[in-house]
Amino acid sequence: MTHKFMEAVAQGLAARHLATLRYQFPYMEQGKKRPDTPAVAHATVRAAVAAAAQRQPGLPLIAGGKSFGGRMTSQAQAQEPLPGVRGLCFFGFPLHPAGKPGTDRAAHLSSVSIPMLFLQGTRDALAEVSLITSITASLGSRATLNLIADADHSFHVPAKSGRKDAQVLEEMLDEVAAWTARITRGA
């Protein structure tokens, strides 16, 4: 939760008048490399959503995360809707392992009935562009895909792209703010 990218996202969203609640999965808190089981990760997501709702009652909630955190959030939502959550935002949805293109990790998304925002780099080794495009298209109006040209899974762009990582982050955060405003209008 104190990773440089996560801190930059939280600060950037705060500058756009969007509060964030960052949290750790138990495996990260314990310094382990192996991720928690889905059951533990889903319970952690639910606890974080409950904590956010308790801190700011009545505030529209958006849940999500970066990579594993986003996928665990979507799985939790697919199993049983997260109370008060109006949408899901994914910074680099990990559609498949690197070098092993597939869509099995997205099977649960059809069970998510709230809006979803996918922020994906076009060089993301964990989400081949044609596959993530197909998956989001199959979800219809529930899914918004924002492809970040030349970005990898960490949203790093090469110098030859003519952009800096900070510019890419600003563009993504502007998209998150605009999307959030659209789906929470009238909340």
Q: What are the tens digits of pLDDT across the range 91-105?
A: 999 999 999 999 999
pLDDT in tens, 126-158: 999 999 999 999 999 999 999 999 999 999 999
Instruction: Give the confidence band of 186 by pLDDT, cuts at 50, 70, 90.
Output: low
Sign of CA dihedral 49, 25, 77, 177: positive
Burial 49-64 (b: 16+ CB within 10 A, else e): beebbeeeeeeebbbb
The residue ranges of every structural domain in the chain are 4-184
pLDDT above 70: percentage of residues in the chain: 99
Q: In the structure, what pLDDT confidence band is assigned to residue 58 with cuts at 50, 70 and 90?
A: confident
Average pLDDT, the chain: 95
CATH class for the domain made up of 4-184: alpha beta
Question: In the predicted model, what is the mean pLDDT of residues 153-174?
Answer: 96
